[in-house]
Structure 1
Amino acid sequence: MSKTVTYYFTLISPFTYLGQPRVLELAKRDDLDFVYKPFDIMKIFNEVGALPPVKRHPSHQKYRAAELQRWSAKLGLPLNLKPAHFPVPTQAASCMLLAAMDAGADPGPLVMGILKAVWAEERNITEAETLAAIASECGLDGAALVAASQADGMVERFEASTAEAIADGVFGSPTFIVDDQIFWGQDRIAMLEEAL
């Protein structure tokens, strides 16, 4: 009997980027059903009273940068600490991801492609052309997915996914929920595996 892992994330999080390769491996397990749920991080921050990184105390910002450098080196993933296009809204990218899932695509590689675009490739994920190119690089029909992402109801679905995250107690990205247990952070993926 398979277990469901609800995977809440934002497509602008460097920690989600660092964790995504391990998510891709975990999602290959036959006994797991991974449910991808993108959310609006700013609405989450507003709900829980958190500050976005650029507004945090300098000591917090300094430690965050150190952690990102450590994890980037440990995992062998290139990461630009000050990407050209951060922070930016993720609505367009998230709606394209929802459209890809509607089309039956595995969302994992597309999530990785979008995150890599921000944190390693200096690409702007608010641009339709950029999103189409990323999707095409993942073997999908990028132009068709961008068009589908702009259909009526897609923004509302993204907003609903954010509301579900809030209702489920999510306060950061990435967050995994299995059997009513919450695992927050890419550094908790090993604990998630143990729980599974």
Structure 2
Amino acid sequence: MAHIDYYLSVLSPFVYLAGTRPAEIAGRHGATITYKPLDISGLFAAVGAVPMKERHVNRRELRGQELRRESKRAGKELNPAPAHWPTNAAPASYALIAAQEDGSGDVGAYLAAIGRASWAEEKDIADEGVIRAALEESGFDPALADKGLLAGAEAYSRNLEEAINAGAVGVPFFVVDGSERFWGQDRLEQLDDFLAGKL
């Protein structure tokens, strides 16, 4: 059985656009998936990537066009300049880690709800009420927003180190069985084909 490590940031519009497809792909092929939220600024610094505000205007404009096109392809509403972005990613990330450990709901659905709150609903995903609503919507006890904060912080830091060691250069980033790497929501078809033995 294949295993997918899914490195992500709850702040990423491309993680939002990936939606629940990574879990659906894993399910089709009997693969397991572990969600690994991380500090995207830390990843950028480690691999030599330039933060958004420091990128050349050409790259920022291209990103805007790609978001418009990809959101249409995914059938998802997306505001390219949401009211509460960037924000503190840690609380929603810690809740994801706690939810995954709890296992009573749908982690992929939680991640999708958090992305939708940020990129389509103009909500601040650092707000406890927003996190609690996303947890409840995806089948978890909303109280998980306040549980395991120390363990969440430790896992969040560990995920960044693991991502760097696994070869991640951005998010969403998928690693199958510790070796085969896929970067971006636009590589999900490749991930699907790889798990099917076509690549």
Q: What range is the shorter-chain TM-score in?
A: over 0.9
* Distance in 2 (alpha carbons) for counterparts of 1:57 and 1:149: 40
Provide the C-alpha distance between the structure 1 equivalents of 2:115 and 2:148, rounded to a whole number of angstroms. Answer: 18
What SS does structure 2 have at the residue aligned with 1:153? helix
Identity %: 38
Change (3 A) 1:149 1:93: farther
The 5-angstrom pairing of residues 124-163 of structure 1 reads 124-142=124-142, 144-150=143-149, 152-163=150-161
Structure 1 consecutive aligned stretches of length 4 or more whose deviation exceeds 2 Å:
27-30
Q: CA RMSD in A?
A: 1.3
After TM superposition, list the pairs within 5 Å mapping 1:111-190 onto structure 2: 111-142=111-142, 144-150=143-149, 152-179=150-177, 180-190=179-189
Query: How many correspondences in the alignment?
Result: 193
Q: SS in structure 2 opposite 1:81?
A: coil
Residue aligning to 2:18:
19
Which letter maps to 2:7? Answer: Y
Contact 2:23/2:33, CA 8 A, preserved across alignment? no
Corresponding residue of 1:44: 43
Structure 1 residue 21 displacement after superposition: 3.1
TM-score if structure 2 supplies the norm length? Answer: 0.92
Residue segments in structure 2 that go unaligned for 5+ positions in a row: none
Q: Which segment is superposed worse, 90-99 or 101-110? A: 101-110
User: What CA distance in whole angstroms lies between the structure 1 residues aligned with 2:59 and 2:21?
Assistant: 26
Partners of 1:185 and 1:109 in 2: CA distance:
19
Distance 2:59 2:122 in 1: 24
Amino acid aligned to 1:192: L
Instruction: Work out the CA distance in 1 between the residues paired with 2:160 and 2:153.
Output: 11
Structure 1: gaps (5+ residues): none
User: What's the TM-score once normalised by structure 1's chain length?
Assistant: 0.93
Q: Which residue of 2 aligns with 1:34?
A: 33
For 1:29 and 1:21, the matched residues in 2 are separated by 13
